[in-house]
A and B are shown apart, each in its own frame.
Chain A
């Protein structure tokens, strides 16, 4: 049938979205949309999420704005942008005051600074202040969807040949089955356990008895001792690299990683973890997707 299908808005936690390293580029001529394929097989063109707005910033000018916002869910942070082609959303972001619970509808967007890395963000279609209750409701929706994808992924791992037919036979939607097949090909070594515990944590987030525990855990885990040496090194290297750049420019994420890994024997994950931590405690920020700047 030649029915026009609007792309569905996936309920998806930030962590799963941001871990994606596979993009399927569409073509404007053939009117095929682009997708980000997540490690669990969501083929994402559009996202619906509700979280906490933690930062807004205009990286453009008054006349040619490029608003960036960070919206956090229990697992991570969505980077949300709106520029001159999203005038309604840009105006909306400009008028928001963090912290606030917001609902966001956005199109997936990908930035590739080099062949290795890929940064995902949302091009905002709509952003609106909502109640905490709606945030909790969204967490449940996202958790249910995550559970379905995990189940599909586990089934896929049992198969010798992962196919859309076999997965739909088990009752999974064909859209999901297509994504799972692609994810199974592309991401060979991801840990499903990590996502199962992410699912569990996100559900506990909604329950009253866990509220205190999670906040306590977070406050301790931010200042882990054994990473401070690496973090200092990263800050030092950024400082050096920044001297060679103009004032507004950030250091390229990929360049930084190469430099740091040259000097310290660490894995990519350790580097990412350290940068994430430096950002969350406010030593680094991201002036542009894929670049970092030091906050003195």
Chain B
């Protein structure tokens, strides 16, 4: 959103409070000066502009009826007519006293907004009801406005119920391009794997169907919170999906508000072809914030300490150092094999964890043999040395899930292969491109 669009609702507020004493252009110019030149906060700026242009700042707070799309987060005396998109009861404790509050989402034809009702309901209200809210106030959370209805506020059922529903135009999106927080997406892809489970939620048991769906640009984990009768290898078009992240990895969710259509099989490449769709550079992974089932071609440029033969605390599985766990003190550590290294593909770098099975494959022997070698040489470090020898500078093709947090990207490798390419062929291909 550009700056002018962001300021527009505030300019509206001020112009209204000034009751015709100044034009919108004038107000906008003034407001920008207060904000950008004098850098005061927004509420102060608004009061100051009203004052300067000859109005009464109190008029900023007179009851204002607004559409959801106009709410800025600074409204003190807000009135809206909205439809309840969702409403959930929650028990909290205030000063040691139990209290019942409600939270949910309001909608009208201009958008949706989260709300919290801090007082008991005066009448039964449920999803789909249209309500008239007065004396509410708006705040912002994570830069997004929300409505609060406190002790002065009222929320009354509207008899005529004449609030149009908000229709967002769904956006088509490639799986590679999804980002946390996206909503109303249209995603077309093939279901590569599928699992049905029953999970416990606040509202009792719920069926959840989860799996992996792929298009030619990438793969993504999905969760269907409604029975769409999905089957493995189906090509589906989901309309109304949204993206949530788990450990930094974006996931596609869709529920009963979404629609799912089964498309002709030829719309999306076959499952085998899509396996390659996970192929990503590390810079792509960094931009996207992780991925499920990614394939990465990279070179191992460092094998970190904590690789090779390690010992884990039997209580908490943490790696123990000098037979002492950080939490549980002296313990009899259980042996394990792993690699903790740095992969770099020239576009970026990430941390990789290779677990025991794959590490055994790289070494060509199992944990017992590794223990024996370490005992014979009286040196646990020998296994790390051997892994360094095999892995550093080695071009690899790795597969696995990539998570993203404050410490950067981390790949948990489920498969590690030495990368083989026909060097002569590749050199000729590049040479042809250069000589054009």
Contact = CB atoms under 8 A, between A and B. Distances in A.
Q: Judge: A and B partners, yes or no.
A: yes
Interface of A: 1-11, 48, 50, 103, 105, 125-126, 128, 130, 133-134, 136-137, 140-141, 143-145, 147, 173, 175, 196, 199-200, 203-204, 206-208
Interface in B288-327: 289, 299, 301-302
B349 A8 contact: yes
Contacts of A1: 289
B346 A103 contact: no
11 contacts: A3-B404, A3-B405, A6-B348, A8-B344, A103-B392, A128-B389, A128-B392, A137-B421, A147-B433, A199-B434, A206-B424
B301 A126 contact: yes
B395 A137 contact: yes
B431 A141 contact: no
Given A9-B344, A128-B392, A173 B406 contact: no
Contacts of B405: 3
Contacts of A196: 434
Contacts of B430: 140, 143-144, 147, 203
Contacts of A130: 393
Contacts of B272: none
A141 B423 CA distance: 11
Nearest to B421: A137
A42 to B, nearest CB: 10
A111 to B, nearest CB: 24
Contacts of A208: 424
Contacts of A133: 423
The 8 A-B residue pairs with the shortest CB-CB distance, nearest first, are A103-B393, A206-B427, A6-B349, A9-B344, A203-B431, A11-B346, A105-B301, A130-B393
Contacts of B407: 3-4
B408 interface: yes
Contacts of A103: 392-393
Interface string B341-356: 0101011111000000
A2 B248 CA distance: 13
Given A136-B423, A147-B433, A5 B346 contact: no
B368 interface: no
A126 B302 contact: yes
A5 B408 contact: yes
A35 B188 CA distance: 43
B299 A48 contact: yes
A184 to B, nearest CB: 21
A203 B430 CA distance: 8
Contact of B346 (A48, A105, A199, A200): A48
A207 B424 contact: yes
A4 B283 contact: no
B393 A128 contact: yes
A33 to B, nearest CB: 13
A9 B427 contact: no
Given A5-B348, A140-B421, A207-B428, 17 more contacts: A3-B404, A4-B408, A6-B408, A8-B344, A10-B346, A50-B393, A128-B388, A128-B392, A140-B430, A141-B346, A143-B427, A147-B434, A173-B347, A196-B434, A203-B430, A204-B431, A206-B427
A240 B348 CA distance: 49
B435 interface: yes
Residue of B299, B407, B408 contacting most chain A CB atoms (<10 Å): B299
Nearest to B426: A140
B158 interface: no
Nearest to A209: B424
Contacts of A6: 342, 348-350, 408
B349 A7 contact: yes
A32 B97 CA distance: 50
A125 B302 contact: yes
Interface string B326-367: 000000000000000010101111100000000000000000
B22 interface: no
